[in-house]
Amino acid sequence: MKTNKPQPDENGWERLFSKILPGNGVNVTNYMFYRDNVVKVITENGTFIMKGFESKYECKLQLELSEWFKQYEKPSIGPIGNFPSKKESIKYGEYHWVIMPFYEGRDLHYGNIDDVRYAAEAIVSFHEQGRVTSELHEQVSEYKLFEKWKKRLASFKERAQEVEWPKEIAPLLPEIIFWGDYALDEFNHKQYEKLFQSEKLDCQLCHGDVAPHNFLLPRNGEAMLIDYDLITAAPRVIDWLQFTNRILPFWKWRYEKIVPALPDECLQYFKKRWFLQALVFPTDLYREWNRAFSSSSPISVDQVTRFTLSDFAHRKNFIKKIINHLEQKQTG
């Protein structure tokens, strides 16, 4: 057996690939780990992806979600299959393992307007298919946007006082923190809760992680979502808020550049005051800096410094326009 990325023998991988999987009808000739719980396996009968979940409950929920999306002729996500032994999952080591097809194709790049359109279409398809039964909806955790933001900003503020910041970033900290405080102070809980309850009645699911690496564009087909670990019970706007935040840095925060690629389902929210206020919250900066200072590697800090500075002026101008626009509407 060959492996592109040999794993330490103490993890027991060799036993999984040489005994456990063949015992379930999967004869592995080669394998490659992407993460500890994600592995590409090449077998005598084709190529597959195996994914491991830490808890039995999480694994069961993923299988039920997969079954829901399988009912559609063109599932918007890559569904989980069964092992040839007919087992849905295999418990080995720390994980409950499932198996799914390996799809040939390429990742999407948000600096390409066609790829933005492909991703947006896939999100719309996911939302259409993601109206599930009440029983399934109740099993999925709810997405608490305000609480998540509050916690992320608090962590950033705590680190801001404790660590030594790069000299290029230190002068920017008051403004970066102001953006977060502004978004939280102006957060319209009533409007968000109304929207949340409305889509809860429809048993609507939200994908929760629309980063470009979670999309795949097959050579002859429509883009699909290949990872759905963070599916949550939330309004569709959460995906569009995250999607917009992911795209804008590639377009120098020029909203008009991405409008042609966005569907009406997304564009409707740009008319909502609370959505515009939410775009002010620099969730990516807080996320990346919190992560960088949790790591002992100075390379990580250097990378996030470059990331922050690369579009700071454009982001600042975008946020200034939003705040001025909202203030004018409030006084007009």
Neighbouring-strand partners of residue 217: 106
Q: Where are the beta strands (DSSP E) in the chain?
A: 2-3, 28-35, 38-43, 46-53, 90-92, 95-101, 205-206, 215-216, 224-225, 232-233
Residue 301 CB-half CA count within 13 A: 15
- Please choose, from the candidates 130, 133, 99, the residue with its C-alpha nearest in 3D space to the C-alpha of residue 31: 99
Residue 293 CB-half CA count within 13 A: 18
Return the pLDDT at 297: 62
Contacts (Cβ under 8 Å, ≥6 apart) of 43:
26, 27, 28, 29
Residues 60-77 have pLDDT tens digits of 999 999 999 999 999 999
State the Rg of the chain over Cα: 22
Q: Which CATH architecture has domain 113-331?
A: Alpha-Beta Complex (3.90)
Return the pLDDT at 152: 97
Return the pLDDT at 8: 42
pLDDT, mean of residues 6-21: 72
For residue 80, count CB atoms less than 10 angstroms from its CB and return exposed for 0-12, middle for 13-18, buried for 19 or more. buried
Classify domain 2-101 at the CATH superfamily level: Phosphorylase Kinase; domain 1 (3.30.200.20)
The domain locations on the chain are 2-101, 113-331
- Please choose, from the candidates 152, 170, 186, 176, the residue with its C-alpha nearest in 3D space to the C-alpha of residue 275: 186
Please report, in angstroms and rounded to a whole number, the separation of the first and last CA atoms in the chain: 71
The residue among 10 and 299 whose pLDDT is bigger is: 299
Q: Looking at the predicted structure, is the pLDDT value of residue 1 above 70?
A: no
pLDDT, mean of residues 111-124: 97
